Amino acid sequence: MTDLHRLSVRELTEGLAAAKFSSRELTEHYLKRIEKIDARVQSYVTVTAEQALAEADAADALRKAGGATVLTGVPIAHKDIFCTHGIKTTAGSKMLDNFISPYDATVVAKGKVAGLVTLGKVNMDEFAMGSTSESSYFGATANPWALDHVPGGSSGGSAAAVAADLAPFATGTDTGGSIRQPASFCGLTGLKPTYGRVSRFGMIAYASSLDQGGPMARSAEDCAYLMNVMAGHDAKDSTSVEKNVDDYVANLNGTSVKGLRIGIPKQYFNTAGLDADVKARVEESLKKLEEMGATLVEIDLNMTESYVPTYYLIAPAEASSNLSRFDGVRYGYRAENPVDLMDLYKRSRSEGFGKEVQQRILIGTYALSAGYYDAYYVKAQKVRRLIQQDFLKAFETVDVIAAPSAPTTAYRIGANLSQVEMYLGDIYTIAVNLAGLPAINAPVGFDKDSLPVGLQLIGNYWSESQLLSVVHQYQQATDWHTKRAAIAEENA
Ligand code: GLN
């Protein structure tokens, strides 16, 4: 079959179960596509062809022996922030260019138990800091819809790989939008789960109170399959929650759009900088949901102006602490010929970290330093609580909250936005992380340059099933999620 990459995850599971194709055929098909197409997209940092084929053969053998489960033999790409035993894990940084993890992240280990075949590791902004994937030490990744544009970030490699049909689905992480914004820029569906739903063990830390892994795929249905693998309590992550996990696939029709109350925050749709096409497409998608029976309710989210300053204080503060472990001593990049220990620390960190990462470490260290801690960090934590309360108040009257995922479509590669412009691009996503809420991006059309636009739906705590279900029903009634970039239509 030449068009295996066009099958949805459900179709892949059905085809494998019916022996229409083997995991080896499927894996070879994807590896061939990566070889032919990824030179133009640059989504993969590492392709693990040999290991993938061995995993595929093992999956086929397991299936023959009657031991297969639903996803046995389905390929996946992992964001290069998840530690993989025996395979390089770089976090997009020179600091970890040669780092081979001695263990698997829990998400990766769960994928193995589910029988997923790892095609490789995909590109990202350095240590997940950024919105374009350009800060990667390994260079920029292209947006499959327009190769001179960015795929978004930080999970840009995950988004580009799926949008170019170089993987059926991929893992991502979201600290301030890094699943939802690249999903939006690449026309995909991406879910940022409630904080604590997915284990962070073995996921290289950026800002630990905000980081959360989640699925990126073409549809809510495909995301549900991966969410079934990723979600769940993990004794190795003290912030992961002991709470029953839904069967996200079985629940895809569990929420009715009829009667669903969708909150429309006034402040979100009057933001300066919200692109007219993005606004129009998002409003059209809301109109469609209204036709399907939802009620649109205008709401207030009064803390909107505090989102960017609060996030860009807390995230760098936590990053400065997390990244202090990279000192050139035990693993990672080490400067050559240090004259003494201080020189080793200094030069390893100045040579190993890129500019954006260094800036954030400096800002974060400053905010946490004695004398400034109360004025900055403690204050930001208080504002964070107010932002959370703002959402909780809204959820007293609505079931979900609608927003764009990003104020614009994808930027050009090398557009060199100022830091302020770049940070303002996170306005619709970061508050969700500050509050620890789940949210999903769904593709809802294109702008005048044929670049994808995304709708974001924010849910109350633990409402992943509801979000996936609402988007699934929207996707049953529309076909935006089935649109493919020209490069994805190419055969290998
Ligand atoms: N763009 C945001 C940042 O740079 C979010 C990144 C993320 O979610 N990892 O912090």
The mean per-residue pLDDT over the stretch 323-328 comes to 96
pLDDT band at 271 (very low <50, low <70, confident <90, very high): confident
Ligand 1 centre to CA of 446 (Å) is: 24
pLDDT of residue 272: 81
Reported confidence tier of residue 1, pLDDT bands at 50, 70, 90: low
pLDDT surpasses 90 at 184: yes
Does the annotation count 22 as an active-site position?
Answer: no
Say if ligand 1 is within 6 A of residue 178 CB.
yes
Q: Is residue 373 part of a domain?
A: no
Q: Per residue in 279-294, pLDDT tens?
A: 999 999 999 999 999 9
Which residues does residue 216 pair with via DSSP β-bridges, in sequence order?
170, 190
CA dist., res. 435 & res. 192, Å (int): 12
Q: Where are the alpha helices (DSSP H) in 115-241?
A: 156-163, 180-185, 220-230
Look at residue 40 and tell me if it is in a domain: yes
- Please name every residue paired with 193 in a beta bridge, in sequence order, or none if there are none: none
pLDDT in tens, 92-128: 999 999 999 999 999 999 999 999 999 999 999 999 9
What is the pTM (predicted TM-score) of this model? 0.98
Q: Is 348 a catalytic residue?
A: no
Question: Residue 168: is it exposed, middle or buried by C-beta count within 10 angstroms (0-12/13-18/19+)?
Answer: buried
Q: Give ∠ CA 282-285-291 in degrees, rounded to 5.
A: 145
* Residue 14 is assigned to a structural domain of this protein: yes
Whether 318 maps to a domain, the answer reads no
Let me know if residue 347 belongs to a domain. no
Q: What is the pLDDT of residue 401?
A: 98
Element at 404 (helix H, strand E): strand 400-404
- Domain of 59 in residue numbering reads as 4-251+482-489
Q: What is the mean pLDDT of residues 73-84?
A: 98
**pLDDT per residue as tens digits for the range 385-419:** 999 999 999 999 999 999 999 999 999 999 989 88
State the chain's maximal CA–CA distance in angstroms.
70
Average pLDDT over residues 266-272: 91
Residues 173/125, Cβ–Cβ less than 8 Å: no
Q: Is the CB of 131 under 6 A from ligand 1?
A: yes
Contact 368, 377 (CB under 8 A): yes
Q: Ligand 1, from 180, 307, 357, 430: best to mutate by most atoms within 8 Å of Cβ?
A: 430
Can you give the CATH number for the domain in which 161 is found? 3.90.1300.10
Output the DSSP codes for 174-192: -SSSTTHHHHHHTT-EEEE
Do the domain assignments include residue 46? yes
> In this model, does residue 2 exceed pLDDT 80?
no
In the chain, how many domains are there? Answer: 1
- Does residue 75 sit within a domain? yes
Which atom of ligand 1 lies nearest, measured to the CA of 356? 4
Instruction: Establish whether 133 is a catalytic residue.
Output: no
Out of 150, 171, 206, mutate this one to test ligand 1's pocket (max ligand atoms within 8 Å of CB): namely 206
Measured CA to CA, the distance from residue 467 to residue 24 in angstroms comes to: 34
Nearby residues of 462 by Cβ (< 8 Å), 6 or more positions away:
194, 197, 243, 438
Q: Is 374 a domain residue?
A: no
